[in-house]
Each structure stands twice: as structure tokens, then as C-alpha cells.
Amino acid sequence: MSNDRWWWAQRAQQLRFTQLDVARRQAETWRTGLTGVTALLGAVLIVKGRTDIADLAPPYPAILLALFGIALAAFVIATLQAIRAASGTPGDECLLTGEDLERWTEAEVHQIQRAIRTARLLTIAGVCSLAAGAGTTWLAPARSPALPTVRVQSSQGQYCGRLSQIGSDTLKISGPTGYYLVPLTSVVRVDAVASCP
């Protein structure tokens, strides 16, 4: 007859006397892993591509924020799953007898495989999200420059609005009710103002 039961009983008894060492090693694993999680934030910010995200046309800044957020969340969860797979001892649910330790080990092996699979998928998702975000920063159109607000005095009257276009013979002023085309020949003075009255 196999001595499996004897072997498991020995393992369970040994575990009883090595719990402190095991717990210390677990703490070290978590410390290293959590340091890595903190470093992930910096890594994501480095890879994010062009720095002037705020200058991109809407809605690209929001899309980028979402992509980088998804990437960071995926990396953090993947790292935590990997740490979880790499550490762990029987907890309160396991009485340290041979039979209980054997059952716990079987369940733990299953959970470790599931955690590794999850970590792998999340890492791939994070890399894809990060790559998509970095690519978007380069390919997204830039925000159109803000049009200055001007007050134009001309022989025909005074106009206030945003300076939309300077043509060969007219100024195009965008007002609250529409566009004004002011002939350049009639312009007397143009002042930049903060807002129109």
C-alpha cells in the first residue's frame, strides 16, 4: 500500500513548525511585488507617447485617459494576481492534518493556474491598451488653435467677435449672431480684447 497518507501527515506536521519562515517569505514576496506595482505608474507614464495630450482635439484626451487607465488597472491586477500565485500558505480554513493539507494543495494548485492565466490575459490587455494609447497620441489630430477675440473699428462701424480668417481683402469676424466680413480697406483699428460686451 502506498505511504501517501504518511507522507502528507509528515508535511502537515513540518508546516506547523515552519509557519513563521513561510510567512516572512510571503511578506518579502508582497513587498517586492507592491514595489513593482508602484513602479508601474511611472512606466505607464513614460510609455504614453507624446507629452502634449492636452493639445489634442476632443475627444482624444478623454480616450487616451481611458486607455492609459485601463492599461494601468490591467497591469496592477495582473501583478497582484501573479503575487498571489507566487505566495500563500494554508490559512484558517485548513487544519494542518495530512488529509486537509492534501485537499488544500489540490485546490491551491487549481487557483494558482487560474491566477497565472488571469495575469497573462490582463498583461496582454494592458500592453494592447498602452500601445493603442501611445499610437493615438501620435496619430490624433491636434486641437485647432484658439481664435483671438478682437474689436474691429472700421469706417462702417464697430464689430466684436473672434477673428476667424484674414483674407486678401476682408476680415472674417465670428460674432454671436453670425459672421461679419469687414473690408480691409475700411478697417481703422483692431484691438485684441478678452471678451465682447
Partner 1 sequence: MSDLVEHHRTVKYRVQNYALLTSGFQFTPVAGGRRIEVTGICPACGGWTSTTWTYGSGNDYKGILPRRRSAPEPAEGPRTLCCDCGHAHADRPADAVFLGCGAYWQVELSR
Residues that bind partner 1 (CB under 8 A): 1, 3, 5-6, 8-10, 12-16, 19, 22-23, 26-27, 30, 80, 84, 87-100, 104
Please list, in sequence order, all residues whose beta carbon lies within 8 angstroms of the beta carbon of residue 140, skipping any fewer than 6 positions away: 56, 57, 60, 64
Shortest Cβ 46–partner 1 spacing (Å): 26
CB of 127 to partner 1, least distance (A): 23
Task: Provide the minimum distance between the beta carbon of 24 and partner 1 in the complex, in angstroms, as a whole number.
Answer: 10
Residue 183 pairs in a beta bridge with: 170
Considering the complex, state which of residue 83 and residue 160 has its C-beta at the smaller distance from partner 1.
83
| DSSP per-residue string spanning 24-84 | HHHHHHHHHHHHHHHHHHHHHHHHT--S-GGGBPTTHHHHHHHHHHHHHHHHHHHHHHHHH
Distance of closest approach, residue 87 Cβ to partner 1, in angstroms: 7
- In the complex with partner 1, the residue whose CB is nearer, 97 or 153, is 97
Tell me the three state secondary structure of residue 1: coil
